């Protein structure tokens, strides 16, 4: 079962908004056993949309369309679909009642254009949108299924989860798809590939291995298709165990979650707390941690100490250390980490200081020089990194490598 996603809107093509809808939909479809063949973005132009629909129908079974269902003149999806199927429009009574209820609830004036939101294609099954005024439309034509949904993310998500995917599952016998993710850090994908090549070469045709690299981390994803999910899951687990035996020192967790979430879960399970002392990352590590619900169970807070004065006041870094070794030095980050751990009364602390760039480097400390220290329950470790001259990448790399060092110390002190 193959699907294509078509997103409609000039705002996507000019970069005004990011198409997060397609990524979310692809994940949900994949879990349901539906393979996404292609993702297409088109402008708010009739012919462009018509061409995209015709081409998609030539290569997939299900075409999922988002966007262009609003009440304004630039929203032309509905009229274009009517032309594509050579049908007219009708007013759906349930959709009309839904529109009236929404405007009544918010005590907003309702215009004629709002009432036209209840118009749907004559040949469609209406998908009532309880999160908005524009209904979805399910059309079956020429052995293909077309589904048109609003582009507003929470409206589309409601329709997909509550109506579209269940209806697809009722209509077709879909294969089981199982994914098993191994999160690794501190090693590149080419090194991983070399180490596990013997396992990768032994995989059966219905199981594949994907390398998903990001700055500082690589996710290994085993994916399999079969008729029985439990059998497939057991089979994939065997191969995952063989892979982990070969790369155990780099494995963070067997789950498709971010590195910082894995650390929060690990520390939370042991009742451990964490604080931060950030300079060149400007609070980015704290941001990574606090974007996850429940992070307060582990993360107590921290200091963003750009100036030497604040390093002394907030983190108890000695003026002698700063004067002799400078802010970007092993000695300074060690004192920052221990100061954060002591002053903020946490079990562990991350500290980081560096030259993010693009300016500020010297001969002995060029742009991209970063020192990281981790203060633990028993030990303090530190490491110097040398990145490039791109500021945003340096900040992200610094944060990820600091988290990798924290995970390393956690494992050592656990042992």
- Neighbour-count burial for 98-117, b at 16+ CB within 10 Å, e otherwise: bbeebeeeeeeeeeeebbeb
Same fold, 2-171 and 259-414: no
**Residue 73: predicted pLDDT:** 79
Distance, in Å, from the CA atom of 209 to the CA atom of 230, rounded to the nearest integer, reads 19
Q: Does domain 176-253 have CATH number 3.30.70.2860?
A: yes
Say if residue 384 is exposed, middle or buried (CB neighbours under 10 Å; 0-12, 13-18, 19+).
middle
CA 77 to chain centre: 28
**Residue 277: predicted pLDDT:** 98
Distance, in Å, from the CA atom of 252 to the CA atom of 216, rounded to the nearest integer, reads 12
> Where are the domains positioned within the chain?
2-171, 176-253, 259-414
Does this model's pTM top 0.85? My answer is: no
Distance, in Å, from the CA atom of 159 to the CA atom of 139, rounded to the nearest integer, reads 15
User: pLDDT for 366-391, tens place per residue?
Assistant: 999 999 999 999 999 999 999 999 99
Q: State the pLDDT confidence band at 269, using cuts at 50, 70 and 90.
A: very high
Give residues with Cβ within 8 angstroms of 391, minimum separation 6.
Answer: 356, 357, 358
Collapsed DSSP state (helix, strand, coil) of residue 240: helix
What six digits make up the tokens of 262? Answer: 């894995």
Q: State the pLDDT confidence band at 215, using cuts at 50, 70 and 90.
A: confident
Residue 128: count other Cβ atoms within 10 Å of its Cβ: 15
What six digits make up the tokens of 333? Answer: 């980050």
User: Which range (108-122, 265-279, 298-312) has the least confidence?
Assistant: 108-122
**259-414: which CATH topology?**
Maf protein (3.90.950)
Closest CA to 136 of 87, 67, 194, 188: 67
Q: Determine what percent of the chain is predicted with pLDDT higher than 70.
A: 100
- Kindly report the CATH number that applies to the domain delimited by 2-171: 3.40.980.10
- Say whether pLDDT at 110 is over 80: no
Contact 276, 336 (CB under 8 A): no
What six digits make up the tokens of 16? Answer: 């005004």
């Amino acid at each position: 079962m193959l699907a294509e996603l078509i997103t409609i809107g000039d705002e996507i093509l000019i970069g005004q908004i990011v198409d997060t809808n397609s990524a979310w939909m692809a994940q949900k479809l994949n879990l349901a056993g539906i393979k996404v063949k292609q993702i297409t973005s088109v402008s708010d132009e009739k012919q462009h949309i018509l061409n995209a629909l015709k081409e998609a129908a030539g290569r997939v079974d299900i075409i999922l369309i988002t966007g262009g269902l609003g009440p304004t003149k630039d929203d032309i999806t509905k009229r274009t679909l009517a032309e594509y199927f050579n049908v007219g429009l009708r007013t759906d009574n349930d959709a009309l009642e839904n529109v009236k209820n929404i405007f009544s609830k918010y005590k907003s004036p309702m215009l004629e254009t709002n009432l036209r939101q209840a118009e749907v294609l004559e040949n469609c099954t209406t998908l009532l949108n309880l999160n908005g005024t524009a209904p979805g439309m399910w059309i079956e034509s020429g052995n293909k299924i077309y589904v048109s949904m609003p582009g507003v993310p929470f409206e589309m998500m409601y329709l997909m989860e509550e109506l579209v995917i269940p209806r697809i599952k009722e209509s077709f016998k879909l294969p089981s798809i199982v994914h098993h993710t191994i999160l690794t850090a501190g090693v590149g994908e080419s090194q991983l590939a070399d180490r596990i090549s013997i396992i990768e070469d032994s995989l059966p045709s219905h199981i594949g291995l994907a390398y998903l690299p990001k700055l500082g981390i690589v996710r290994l994803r085993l994916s399999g298709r079969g008729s029985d999910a439990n059998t497939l899951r057991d089979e994939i687990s065997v191969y995952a165990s063989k892979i982990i035996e070969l790369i155990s020192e780099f494995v963070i967790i067997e789950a498709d979650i971010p590195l910082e979430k894995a650390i929060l879960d690990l520390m939370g399970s042991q009742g451990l707390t964490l604080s931060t002392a950030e300079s060149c990352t400007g609070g980015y590590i704290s941001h990574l941690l606090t974007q996850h619900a429940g992070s307060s169970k582990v993360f107590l807070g921290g200091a963003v100490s750009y100036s030497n004065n604040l390093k002394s006041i907030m983190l108890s870094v000695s003026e002698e250390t700063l004067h002799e070794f400078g802010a970007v030095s092993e000695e300074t980050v060690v004192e920052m980490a221990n100061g954060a751990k002591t002053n903020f009364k946490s079990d562990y602390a991350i500290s980081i200081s560096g030259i993010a760039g693009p300016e500020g480097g010297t001969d002995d400390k060029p742009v991209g020089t970063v020192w990281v220290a981790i203060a633990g329950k028993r030990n303090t470790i530190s490491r110097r990194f040398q990145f490039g001259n791109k500021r945003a990448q340096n900040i992200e790399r610094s944060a990820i490598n600091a988290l990798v060092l924290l995970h390393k110390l956690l494992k050592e002190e656990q042992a």
